[in-house]
Structure 1
Amino acid sequence: MASWVPTVLLCLYGFFSSLRPSEPFLTAFLMGPDRNLSETQVVNEIYPVWTYSYLALLFPVFLLTDFLRYKPVLVLQAASFVATYAVLLWARGVLAMQLLEFFFGVATATEVAYYAYIYSVVPPARYQRVTGYCRGATLLGSAAGSLSGQLLVSVARAPLRHLVAATLAAAAVAFAAPWFLPTPDRSLFFHQSGSGGGGGSGGGGGGSERGGEAAAAAAAVQRGGDGVPERPEDAEIKALLKVKAVAAVSGGDGGGGSGLADVLRVLREDFLRCYSQRPLLAWSAWWALSTCGYFQVVNYVQPLWERVRPPHDLALYNGYVETLATLLGALAAFAVGSVRVSWAAWGEPALVLFSSVMAACVFAMDLVRDIWVCYGAYVLFRAAYMLLITIATFQIAASLSMQRYALVFGVNTFMALLLQAALTLVVVDAAGLGLDIFSQFLIYGCYFAAIAAIFLLAVLYKLATRRRPKRPDVPGNSEGETESAAPPRLSP
């Protein structure tokens, strides 16, 4: 099968699975007359299930995806989307909605198969272009879903239940696409091809082929694939299963697969090698910390809007806001790739500045309690995050050997989910403090302020060590101080 066929099918699948007109209005639907759930039930009992499910399934699904060679997991993801919106449309009660969140957790965790499949069926020379197509399709589907949902509500005066039905219909269309995809002959860990492979789904050949694939993948990560920006989870997903880390690190060139013990051993060795680099550790720490807070704000902003929106105002503009936030975030991420800045020198000050902006946005949403201020602050918050996470993505990719940056993106996202689960359990879950939505956002604002403070201290410490006078007459001191005075080099 020509490589353009799976590319078209993947783009269609990405578009329709991201086309969700009901998503900006999910909380309004659950708390409205259709489901008549309370804020406490939605925020403290239902929504946390997604976080726990995603965290618990991420690593097992990662290995299962590779073992099954992607296609069955893509089918499972498509089925999970259908199950999610079928439950939302026809079921009632807290338990049913918790089951819905579990299905959505399965769909989110299995998203790893989407980009992994791309890199197993197309030639390395087309990685960047195909990544752009597929990422563009999902971005367009997300924006089209938010906008169409808003138009259905504002112009057609459609009930929110009809938006859920439209989302289920789009998921059903997406469900058909993975069945027509060919099953790849190889995968990263368990099914490695021999040295004679080639072509679109060709094998993991000699060292030169592995180097070419890794270089193409690095370019795709650093430039976002045809100028299309990435969400943080997409950067992890795209990288996580793409690079042939086991073959490259262990030097294996024979056919057959690797056992689970070998896979875990190589992952452990690469983990220790990667995180021994101090600059990479700093960027990774920001990645994990900020992504945790970002997920919390995005997941729980709709209940905040419901509380802030005047009771007499029946108009909902969530769809317009989500569309604008998506497109502005994409534009901000694209601008990072177009502006020439020495992020090795200015990256940490940028983290301080924009983390402070994000903290201010969350505080504004919580304390001002005006719906238009909430909308504006949310759009600015997402744009700032997309800008920073794009910088972190290509800085991390540039600071690693080609065979290891995939692991780092996966570990960073896993740490973000682990922190998010802890924050959810303590702050949101009814088993913990079970705080109301305003108290939650006050904590999230303090959380981002703490991130900004941490990196401000790091910048001040770096400036202080640079200005420390050299100690004369100490053999070998000059070279060591010159190295420490220079800004960290995160790019080759």
Structure 2
Amino acid sequence: MLRSWVGPTVLLCIYGFCSMMRPSEPFLTDYLTGPYKNLTTKQVTRQVLPICVYSNLFLLIPVFLVTDILRYKPVIVLQALNYILAFLLFIFSSGVVLTQCALFIYSMGTAADVAYYSYIYSVVHPQYYQRVTSYARGAVLLGYAVGAMLGQLLVSLGGVSIYWLNVITLGSLCVALLAALLLPMPQRSLVLGGTQNDNGPFEEVVSSSCGSWVVWWLRKGMRTGRGEMRALKRLVVDCKECYSSMAVLFFCVWSAMGKCGYHQITGYVQLLWASKQPQYNFTEYNGGVEAVATLSGAAASIAVGHVALDWSVWGELVLGVFTALTAGVLYLMDLTNSIWICYGCYGLFKTIYMALITICTFQIAQGLSRERYALVFGANSFVGMALQSLLTAIVVNTKSLVPLISFPGQFLVYASYFAAMVVLFLIRGVYTLLQSRLMDLTSGMTLKQREKTYSTATTPSQNREQTDAKDTQPPVLQLFMSKECNICI
């Protein structure tokens, strides 16, 4: 029985690395439009890729609720099975319908990411939360970067076909499934609360026996749902209290809108690259670009966590300024005919996004008064998915707009989308800065003194208070507040 934090953490990191080590993913569009699938660019753009968007919208909330009820591990195992089935369909099936089925099954797996990021906190002691968070996040990012770089090296240097990249991906997912099956079964919930044995020691909440699944499920079925319903009602009340703060609300707005634009860009960027690359004597570097962009984004996210700035004053203005840079980068990607400029702009876009979403995340976390960050994060993700579905329906699937918004002209729309965000957050940022300046003048404190006060280290007694408060914070809150893991995917 794995009782310490080391065993579950190692197994979860192996799962995270192997499940994200997918050499074929940066070349998915080429695989679908190539000789193996023979789909047209129009079919991929308007019939295949939108399936992921719509599926994620409808699966996100049900999976979030079921994940907590089933105690995370079964959902992680189901996620691995979904990924394996999806890539089996990618390898052996053909036609638009079966490809759509593969992407729907793949979306079921991506919707279950919440189980991966929540599982470890239900089987380790709170004193290890910060450490295991950095490991879990790092394993995912490292797996994605290694997979992208491996795919690039195999294609560029080894002459390996994309078909075999899918086979390698399938093998990596099988290893991930094995790691998921070996994970200990947790028996306490992070959202609904409670354990199977509330009076027992912490170590007794974990069991790696497959037979304990059945015993646990029968005992759970004999319980009433009153406690869980009360917990859900408290979640709703706390969520309303959080969104009542205008400062937190605007960071939530950027989080939702930013995720919408980010996933839309990353979902269709391979089609943009295909339209910009030379037709003859050109080697694609999709995998290398994805690997470099992921690592630079991770570095930017960590760097933001160490910047001594009063984000409650400057945060919204920083969002507006760097979102303007993002809009400019997307405009350039649409207008240029150089694939190399497209590659560079994409890397810059992904780096800026990861830094800005990190700012939003820890500002939202700091604005919460109680341990209900998970619901707010889920709500922001759901709103982002809803916006992405609406944007996809208008830009990609609206027949009346097809002649007007032909690919790659879609990126002009996405750039305009971010430009609209710029107007909103520049106005809000200037307003917040002026309001803070007026408050400082009335209190006799200059802006420079305010920054100095903010960046000054706290006293030892304050440090002890903050440490004690951190130990009582919810796992998901600590996930986004720790400087070592301010990386949001």
Give 1:198 shift: 3.5
Contact 2:11 2:179 in 1 (8 A): yes
Superposition misfits of 4+ residues, deviation over 6 angstroms: 466-470
Q: What stretches of structure 2 of length at least 5 have no aligned partner?
A: 207-222, 455-465, 467-489
Residue 437 of structure 1 is matched in structure 2 by 407
Contact 2:19 2:80 in 1 (8 A): yes
Residue 117 of structure 1 is matched in structure 2 by 119
Residue 386 of structure 1 is matched in structure 2 by 354
Q: CA separation of 1:462/1:116 partners in 2, compared to 1, >3 Å: closer, same or farther?
A: closer
Tell me, what secondary structure is at the counterpart of 1:304? helix
Give 1:190 shift: 4.9
Provide the identity percentage. 46
More off after superposition, 365-374 vs 308-317? 308-317
Contact 1:191 1:256 in 2 (8 A): no
Paired letter, 1:398: Q
Contact 1:153 1:160 in 2 (8 A): yes
Contact 2:88 2:170 in 1 (8 A): yes
Residue 243 of structure 1 is matched in structure 2 by none
Contact 1:191 1:258 in 2 (8 A): no
Give 1:142 shift: 0.5
Tell me, what secondary structure is at the counterpart of 1:21? coil
In the alignment, the residues of structure 2 paired with residue 201 and residue 382 of structure 1 have an alpha-carbon distance, to the nearest angstrom, of: 42
Contact 2:152 2:288 in 1 (8 A): yes
Contact 1:425 1:431 in 2 (8 A): no
Contact 1:121 1:201 in 2 (8 A): no
Paired letter, 1:338: H
Q: CA separation of 1:267/1:402 partners in 2, compared to 1, >3 Å: closer, same or farther?
A: closer
The answer to whether residue 284 in structure 2 is matched with residue 316 in structure 1 is yes
Match of 1:128 among 130, 139, 144: 130
Residue 199 of structure 1 is matched in structure 2 by 202
- Count, aligned residues: 427
- List aligned pairs for 1:17-166, cutoff 5 A: 17-166=19-168
Contact 1:325 1:378 in 2 (8 A): yes
Give 1:202 shift: 4.9
Residue 403 of structure 1 is matched in structure 2 by 371
Contact 2:186 2:205 in 1 (8 A): no
TM-superposition CA deviations, 1:406-452 (whole Å, max 9, x none): 22111111111110111011111266744422221000000111101
- List aligned pairs for 1:243-322, cutoff 5 A: 258=226, 261-322=229-290
Residue 338 of structure 2 is matched in structure 1 by 370
TM-superposition CA deviations, 1:181-222 (whole Å, max 9, x none): 22112113556136534424659xxxxxxxxxxxxxxxxxxx
In the alignment, the residues of structure 2 paired with residue 63 and residue 350 of structure 1 have an alpha-carbon distance, to the nearest angstrom, of: 34
Paired letter, 2:64: F
TM-superposition CA deviations, 1:151-197 (whole Å, max 9, x none): 00000001111111111111111111111122112113556136534
When the two structures are superposed, what TM-score results if normalisation uses the length of structure 1? Answer: 0.82
Match of 2:385 among 397, 414, 417: 417
Contact 2:235 2:372 in 1 (8 A): no
Paired letter, 1:199: F
Contact 1:184 1:201 in 2 (8 A): no
Tell me, what secondary structure is at the counterpart of 2:410? helix
TM-superposition CA deviations, 1:381-428 (whole Å, max 9, x none): 000111111111111111112412222111111111110111011111
Contact 2:192 2:232 in 1 (8 A): no
Tell me, what secondary structure is at the counterpart of 1:338? coil
Query: Could you say what the CA RMSD is over the residues aligned between the two structures, in angstroms?
Result: 2.5
In the alignment, the residues of structure 1 paired with residue 78 and residue 345 of structure 2 have an alpha-carbon distance, to the nearest angstrom, of: 36
In the alignment, the residues of structure 2 paired with residue 10 and residue 314 of structure 1 have an alpha-carbon distance, to the nearest angstrom, of: 39
Residue 450 of structure 1 is matched in structure 2 by 420
TM-superposition CA deviations, 1:96-126 (whole Å, max 9, x none): 1111110111001111111211011000001
In the alignment, the residues of structure 1 paired with residue 369 and residue 77 of structure 2 have an alpha-carbon distance, to the nearest angstrom, of: 33
TM-superposition CA deviations, 1:67-90 (whole Å, max 9, x none): 111111111100011011111111
Q: What stretches of structure 1 of length at least 5 have no aligned partner?
A: 204-254, 471-477
Contact 2:313 2:436 in 1 (8 A): no
Paired letter, 2:184: P
Paired letter, 2:62: P
Paired letter, 1:65: T
Contact 2:242 2:367 in 1 (8 A): no
In the alignment, the residues of structure 2 paired with residue 351 and residue 126 of structure 1 have an alpha-carbon distance, to the nearest angstrom, of: 32
In the alignment, the residues of structure 2 paired with residue 118 and residue 463 of structure 1 have an alpha-carbon distance, to the nearest angstrom, of: 40
In the alignment, the residues of structure 1 paired with residue 338 and residue 204 of structure 2 have an alpha-carbon distance, to the nearest angstrom, of: 54
Residue 358 of structure 1 is matched in structure 2 by 326
When the two structures are superposed, what TM-score results if normalisation uses the length of structure 2? Answer: 0.82
In the alignment, the residues of structure 2 paired with residue 148 and residue 12 of structure 1 have an alpha-carbon distance, to the nearest angstrom, of: 17
More off after superposition, 147-156 vs 61-70? 61-70
Q: CA separation of 1:418/1:80 partners in 2, compared to 1, >3 Å: closer, same or farther?
A: same
Tell me, what secondary structure is at the counterpart of 2:36? coil
Match of 2:8 among 2, 6, 9: 6
Give 1:468 shift: 7.7
